[in-house]
Chains A and B, each alone.
Chain A
Amino acid sequence: MINLEFVINTLSLGSLYALLSLGLVLVYGILKLVNFAYGEYVMIAGYGLYFFGTQMGMPWYVTMVLAVLAAVLVSYLTDLVAFKPVQAHSPNALIVTSFAVSIFLQNIIQTAVSPRARVVHLPSLFSKTVTFAGAVVPVRNLLVIVVTAVLLIVLSIVMKRTVLGMAMRAAAEQFTTTRLMGVPADLVISTAFILSGLLAGTASIFWVSRASSVDPVSGSAPLLIAFISVVIGGMHSTVGAVVGGFVYGLVFNALSVALPATMISYRDAFMFVIVVLFLLFRPEGIVRKGYVEERVG
């Protein structure tokens, strides 16, 4: 049962989930905000693919870049327009605002485009399969692994080697003290939202390509996945988010293989049982935090 196909599929699912959860945790780390509008950034990028690709017929690589940029822009703007004004208030104000942003974005798309799903065209490369050491694997699954690996490496270099990255890590730990160093709060928060949008947008390409369509509530499933990954891996570090994504992918695939055919439709239920067990016995997730945190405000 555990063959190369399983390994590659698990890695690809884990990669996708890791991208999703990392984007959620980056904002949480800085603002201590669980951003319920995060799924909408995935959805917006999906509509970017639809608009620039299906509607305007741009080449697929241009389409993808523009779609990701759309998610980045929307993420950045939601901070500027919605979160920044309530930032100094209670954490509850931020969370409620994120629900509002989520509903607002869904309704904008419903009104401006359509409540029904739209077809997204992706290059044929995405739907091809290759035989790889005896295993039949969709090219899409290999692509997501490569793209995630590259993104994670680049991100970790940025976080480790640049002053902005250091400031981001410092701010996740002690926001006010970071400002005392002269690091502008807005810079750190905006960067978190931009990176969050970048990850959501990139994940969206692979998420949308699975169904080849996008609708106004396409964001809810990715949000849930990011959420579960974060519960499993740990909310307090980027490593936790990535670990959580991969563990989720592994458990999900293992359930798919291990459960008898009659039970396969209960896969999600089993997954939620695991989440509940985590919340009961290891609420801080697999990767524990090693330092005290502080909230902005």
Chain B
Amino acid sequence: MTMLKVENLFASYGAIRALHGVSLEVAEGEMIALLGVNGAGKSTTLKSIAGVLRPVKASVTFLGEEISNRKPEAIAKRGISLVPEGRGIFGSLSVEENLRLGAFVSYKRDRYRADLERVFELFPILKERFTQPGGLLSGGEQQMLAIARALMANPKLIMLDEPSLGLSPAMTDHIFELIAQLREHGSTILLVEQNAERALEIVDRAYLLVNGAIEFSGTPADLERHVDIESVYFGDEDAEICEVPQ
């Protein structure tokens, strides 16, 4: 079943057009990667879906409901959690308080402890750091806290914006393992990554964004067959991109 459907998303920052009619779909239980170089419009797409950025024109339907003109808080309430680029940890708030705010839309007194325990199972380090200010955590720990905080909302769809950004290779491995684990637990995930190779290892399908438009979509195997990922990333003008299969 299609959970999220984005059609003809146009977005701009002032006079600068960032997205030229992006369309994509995420089905329930799927893990999708949105790939592309810096400035291709990956984060802009996520921000537009989450309502942080008001699109110029778009149709975004989530579980059959049009959400493209809703406020971010209303979209969060409907079950979309965005883990923003740069993690967005509240540095002066404790890990506990960060998680409690994560549960803002879903809080039920009798379920809260269980939700916390579930998150601690995935991220045991957060249990140790529970009372510390979020700002004192390491980059990797902050990324885990950001994901954990999103999970506390019991979201239907999790959007991760560059979760491996600025992390050590070992920590990147760990984060990717965790994301794969989330997937096994049945979460629906839209993942934005620069690290295309790593992302393609764990996703079901991928979209390739080039200059604010979807250039290709398909399974990781399709993508590898039809697109020379390296040349896309390193700016080879002759890179061959086949027609987007409809």
Is A184 an interface residue, CB under 8 A from the partner?
A: yes
Chain A interface residue number, banded = 20 to 34
Is A258 an interface residue, CB under 8 A from the partner?
A: no
> Contacts A163-B104, A182-B153; is A170 near B81 (CB within 8 Å)?
no
> Contacts A173-B91, A177-B90; is A166 near B97 (CB within 8 Å)?
yes
Is B135 an interface residue, CB under 8 A from the partner?
A: yes
1/0 per position for A172-201, CB-CB distance to B under 8 A? 011011111111110000000000000000
In the complex, what distance in Å separates the CA atom of A287 from the CA atom of B88? 23
Is B212 an interface residue, CB under 8 A from the partner?
A: no
Task: Give the residues from 47 to 79 in chain B that come closer than 8 angstroms, CB to CB, to chain A.
Answer: 50, 52, 71-73, 76-77
In the complex, what distance in Å separates the CA atom of A179 from the CA atom of B81? 11
Across the interface, B72 reaches (CB within 8 A) one of A173, A176, A291, A292, namely A176
User: Contact between A180 and B50 (Cβ–Cβ < 8 Å)?
Assistant: yes
Give the residue name and chain of the B residue nearest to A294 (CB): B88
Chain A residue numbers with a CB within 8 Å of B76 are 179-182
> Contacts A182-B153, A183-B101; is A170 near B82 (CB within 8 Å)?
no
In the complex, what distance in Å separates the CA atom of A185 from the CA atom of B135? 23
Give the residue name and chain of the A residue nearest to B52 (CB): A176
How far apart are A190's CB and chain B's nearest CB, in angstroms? 14
Task: Give the residues from 3 to 55 in chain B that come closer than 8 angstroms, CB to CB, to chain A.
Answer: 50, 52
Is A134 an interface residue, CB under 8 A from the partner?
A: no
Chain A residue numbers with a CB within 8 Å of B91 are 173, 290-292
In the complex, what distance in Å separates the CA atom of A174 from the CA atom of B92? 11
Give the residue name and chain of the B residue nearest to A187 (CB): B73
Is B102 an interface residue, CB under 8 A from the partner?
A: yes
In the complex, what distance in Å separates the CA atom of A182 from the CA atom of B82? 11
> Contacts A173-B91, A176-B52, A291-B135; is A167 near B104 (CB within 8 Å)?
yes
Is B100 an interface residue, CB under 8 A from the partner?
A: yes
How far apart are B85's CB and chain A's nearest CB, in angstroms? 11
1/0 per position for B125-163, CB-CB distance to A under 8 A? 000000000010000000000000100010000000000
Is B178 an interface residue, CB under 8 A from the partner?
A: no
Give the residue name and chain of the B residue nearest to A88 (CB): B54
Is B105 an interface residue, CB under 8 A from the partner?
A: yes
Is B220 an interface residue, CB under 8 A from the partner?
A: no
Is A32 an interface residue, CB under 8 A from the partner?
A: no
Is B93 an interface residue, CB under 8 A from the partner?
A: yes
Is A140 an interface residue, CB under 8 A from the partner?
A: no
Task: Give the residues from 18 to 65 in chain A that come closer than 8 angstroms, CB to CB, to chain B.
Answer: none
How far apart are A205's CB and chain B's nearest CB, in angstroms? 32
Chain B residue numbers with a CB within 8 Å of A185 are 71, 73
Task: Give the residues from 181 to 236 in chain A that come closer than 8 angstroms, CB to CB, to chain B.
Answer: 181-185
Chain A residue numbers with a CB within 8 Å of B84 are 176-177, 180
In the complex, what distance in Å separates the CA atom of A297 from the CA atom of B17? 19
Chain B residue numbers with a CB within 8 Å of A170 are 90, 93, 97, 101
> Contacts A180-B50, A180-B52; is A166 near B101 (CB within 8 Å)?
yes
Task: Give the residues from 148 to 197 in chain B that come closer than 8 angstroms, CB to CB, to chain A.
Answer: 149, 153
In the complex, what distance in Å separates the CA atom of A106 from the CA atom of B107? 44
User: Contact between A184 and B73 (Cβ–Cβ < 8 Å)?
Assistant: yes
How far apart are A101's CB and chain B's nearest CB, in angstroms? 25
Give the residue name and chain of the A residue nearest to B149 (CB): A181
In the complex, what distance in Å separates the CA atom of A183 from the CA atom of B76? 9
User: Contact between A180 and B72 (Cβ–Cβ < 8 Å)?
Assistant: yes
User: Contact between B71 and A179 (Cβ–Cβ < 8 Å)?
Assistant: yes
Chain B residue numbers with a CB within 8 Å of A177 are 84, 88, 90
Chain A residue numbers with a CB within 8 Å of B100 are 163, 166
Give the residue name and chain of the A residue nearest to B102 (CB): A181
How far apart are A246's CB and chain B's nearest CB, in angstroms? 22
User: Contact between B135 and A290 (Cβ–Cβ < 8 Å)?
Assistant: yes
Give the residue name and chain of the B residue nearest to A291 (CB): B91
Q: List 17 A-B contacts (CB under 8 A).
A: A163-B104, A166-B100, A167-B101, A170-B93, A173-B92, A173-B93, A179-B72, A180-B50, A180-B52, A181-B105, A182-B77, A183-B104, A184-B71, A185-B71, A290-B91, A290-B92, A291-B92
A residues whose Cβ falls under 8 Å from a Cβ of B: 163, 166-167, 169-170, 173-174, 176-185, 290-292
Extra A-B contacts (5), CB below 8 Å, given A163-B104, A163-B107, A180-B81: A170-B90, A180-B52, A180-B72, A180-B88, A182-B105
B residues whose Cβ falls under 8 Å from a Cβ of A: 50, 52, 71-73, 76-77, 81-82, 84, 88, 90-93, 97, 100-102, 104-105, 107, 135, 149, 153
